């Protein structure tokens, strides 16, 4: 209990704390190096994983040879192919039918373009004779519109 010391001049009594004569020190918290170290390891691995995934998807995007080409405009082609003559496009194609093969000319194929069910006839050149097209397979291709409106595949990859 605090002691009260009356003062002679009629002032209010002073309160003296019972802890006034004691000293204390606060010990620093114990270092928890194990928890801090494991947190750094987990954070570092998470950052490396995120950077690795970002690098992978960036690489996949930049390596795609078709990324700079505009999509093949089926509507515009069917309405007036002459406005597209000589232009290159990219297209996601689905094999509909094989119309035949001639060694010096190539393979004439019927495809449907992604998001459009209307058939488009494409000439596959002899240099791509090693590609075997099966009905229903999907391909990504670089196409150009030639003389007479014939569509030529400049390159083609299976998706």
Give me the pLDDT at residue 31, please: 58
Q: What is the pLDDT of residues 63-95, one digit of tens each?
A: 877 888 999 999 999 999 999 999 999 999 999
Please report, in tens digits, the pLDDT of each residue of the chain (159 residues total). 555 555 555 566 777 777 777 776 777 666 555 678 888 999 999 999 999 999 999 888 888 778 889 999 999 999 999 999 999 999 999 999 999 999 889 999 999 998 888 999 999 999 988 888 999 999 999 999 998 899 999 999 888
Q: What is the pLDDT of residues 146-157, one digit of tens each?
A: 988 999 999 998
In a domain, 16, yes or no: no
pTM: 0.62
In a domain, 28, yes or no: no
Burial of 122 per CB tally in 10 Å (0-12, 13-18, 19+) = buried
Range of the domain at 78: 70-158
Give me the pLDDT at residue 32, please: 58
Shared domain for 85 and 38, answered yes or no, is no
Shared domain for 123 and 153, answered yes or no, is yes
In a domain, 84, yes or no: yes
Shared domain for 58 and 78, answered yes or no, is no
Q: How many folded domains does the chain comprise?
A: 2
Shared domain for 101 and 139, answered yes or no, is yes
Shared domain for 75 and 153, answered yes or no, is yes
Give me the pLDDT at residue 35, please: 73
Give me the pLDDT at residue 8, please: 52
Q: What are phi and psi of 82, to 5 degrees?
A: -65, -30
Cα 135 from chain centre: 29
Give me the pLDDT at residue 120, please: 94
- Round the CA-based radius of gyration of the chain to a whole number and report it: 39
Domain boundary among the residues 45, 63, 81 is at 63
In a domain, 117, yes or no: yes
In a domain, 17, yes or no: no
Give me the pLDDT at residue 30, please: 62
């Amino acid at each position: 209990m605090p002691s009260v010391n009356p003062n002679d001049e009629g002032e209010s009594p002073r309160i003296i704390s019972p802890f006034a004569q004691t000293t204390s020190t606060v010990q620093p918290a114990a270092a928890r190096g194990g928890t801090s170290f494991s947190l750094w390891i987990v954070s570092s691995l998470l950052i490396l994983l995120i950077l690795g995934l970002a690098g992978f998807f960036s690489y996949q995007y930049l390596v795609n040879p078709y990324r700079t080409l505009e999509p093949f405009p089926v509507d515009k082609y069917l309405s007036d192919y002459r406005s597209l003559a000589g232009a290159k496009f990219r297209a996601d194609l689905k094999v509909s039918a094989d119309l035949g093969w001639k060694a010096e000319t190539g393979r004439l194929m019927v495809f449907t373009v992604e998001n459009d069910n209307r058939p488009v006839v494409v000439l596959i050149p002899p240099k791509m004779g090693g590609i075997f097209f099966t009905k229903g397979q999907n391909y990504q291709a670089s196409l150009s519109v030639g003389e007479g409106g014939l569509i030529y595949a400049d390159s083609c990859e299976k998706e």
